[in-house]
Amino acid sequence: MAVYTEVSDAALAEFLAAYDIGTLLSCKGIAEGVENSNYFLHTTGGSFILTLYEKRVQEQDLPFFVGLMEHLARRGLACPQPIRDRSGTALGRLCGRPAALVSFLEGVSLSSPGPEHCREVGVALARLHAAGRDFAMVRANALSVGSWRPLFEQAGGQADSVSPGLTERTLADLAVLEAGWPRDLPGGVIHADLFTDNVFFIGDALSGLIDFYFACTDAFAYDLAVCLNAWCFDARGSFHRDMATAMIAGYESQRPLEPAEVEALPMLCRGAALRFMLTRLVDWLNVPPGALVKPKDPLEYDRRLTFHRQARSAADYGRAA
């Protein structure tokens, strides 16, 4: 359960007093997620998510995330809407943390998605990229290739205690990725963390996207690579080609990939897998005492890396030639 900061009744009442959202009926810590503290609030005015921003979220980036959610919603994308208080402010402080309220989005995330869901995710991702094109703010990707070696150093030489040989494998991946990371690909606003728990469905129809707190300005095809990793492999690391083919086709039904993006896909997928292996590794080795959180397994991404290391072309990811 991701609750790093416990919110007292008194602190919550004082925070909510600034908003016109009615009377509080219930407040529950949310069992999913690893990054921030999230509470589900039910008031006489509706349902809301209260987020207290923790560890990886930099306070100076919050106006980007809030502005982006507002921008995407104006462009018709179903995503949480920041709630402004009576003074027009969407960002407050609670229990010493930056905090915000957003609207509750209906829908459920899928535990066993199929190719048809992957196709919808591809379509939604391309629409997100299109909707973000005229968003004026820029935020560099703080978790791109330049951050991976320092992240690995944060693991403090303990990688082999998690899996024998992980240090050697990671150093080899870092060398390849740092030397060959693609630059100058088409880019703009990307989600950068569009995992299954951040996509909601009602029945088989995609109903909305949440969790924009890694969103940034980077290559569109890197976002697709994140999704291919998150949706098209199982926990054992087996690649599901039919799901990847459907996802890429869904994406390209809205925005065909350029030749340079197709060429770069294996490297982007390998980099995306390393990014999630590394953040998971650091979190695995550093669970804060008293935090209600279940760290995610870094080895799921170590296993995906075995696939990426032997992939040679986009065809290996199921893209139709």
Ligand X SMILES: Nc1ncnc2c1ncn2[C@@H]1O[C@H](COP(=O)(O)OP(=O)(O)OP(=O)(O)O)[C@@H](O)[C@H]1O
274 closest CA partner among 225, 215, 315, 219? 225
19 closest CA partner among 79, 71, 94, 80? 94
Site for ligand X, residues 75 to 134, rule: CB under 6 A: 80, 102, 104-105
Instruction: Choose which of 2, 7, 15, 35 interacts with ligand HSE (CB under 6 A).
Output: 35
Backbone angles phi, psi at 185, to 5 degrees: -80, 160
- Residue number, 73 or 176, with CB nearest to ligand X: 73
Report CA 105 to chain centroid distance, whole Å: 16
130 CB contacts (<8 Å, ≥6 apart)?
254, 255
Report CA 299 to chain centroid distance, whole Å: 18
Stretch of 114-122, 235-243, 259-267, 274-282 lying at the interface with ligand HSE (CB under 6 A): 274-282
- Residue number, 85 or 193, with CB nearest to ligand HSE: 193
Lay out the site mask for ligand X across 168-207 (x = CB under 6 A, - = otherwise). -------------------------x-x-xx---------
Interatomic CA distance for residues 290 and 3, integer angstroms: 9
Listed in order, strand segments (DSSP E) in the chain are: 24-29, 37-43, 46-52, 92-94, 97-103, 187-190, 199-202, 205-209, 216-219
CB contact at 8 A, 229 and 195? no
Using CB under 6 A as the binding rule, whether residue 195 contacts ligand HSE is answered as yes
Q: How far is the CB of 49 from ligand X (least distance, A)?
A: 4
Instruction: Choose which of 191, 280, 303, 304 interacts with ligand HSE (CB under 6 A).
Output: 280
Backbone angles phi, psi at 27, to 5 degrees: -145, 120
Using CB under 6 A as the binding rule, whether residue 296 contacts ligand HSE is answered as yes
Q: Which residue is nearest to ligand HSE (CB)?
A: 195
> CB under 5 to 8 A by kind: which of ligand X, ligand HSE, none does 280 bind?
ligand HSE
| Size of the residue set binding ligand HSE (CB under 6 A) | 8
Binding site for ligand X (CB under 6 A): 2, 30, 32-36, 38, 49, 80, 102, 104-105, 193, 195, 197-198, 210-211, 213
Binding site for ligand HSE (CB under 6 A): 34-35, 193, 195, 276, 279-280, 296
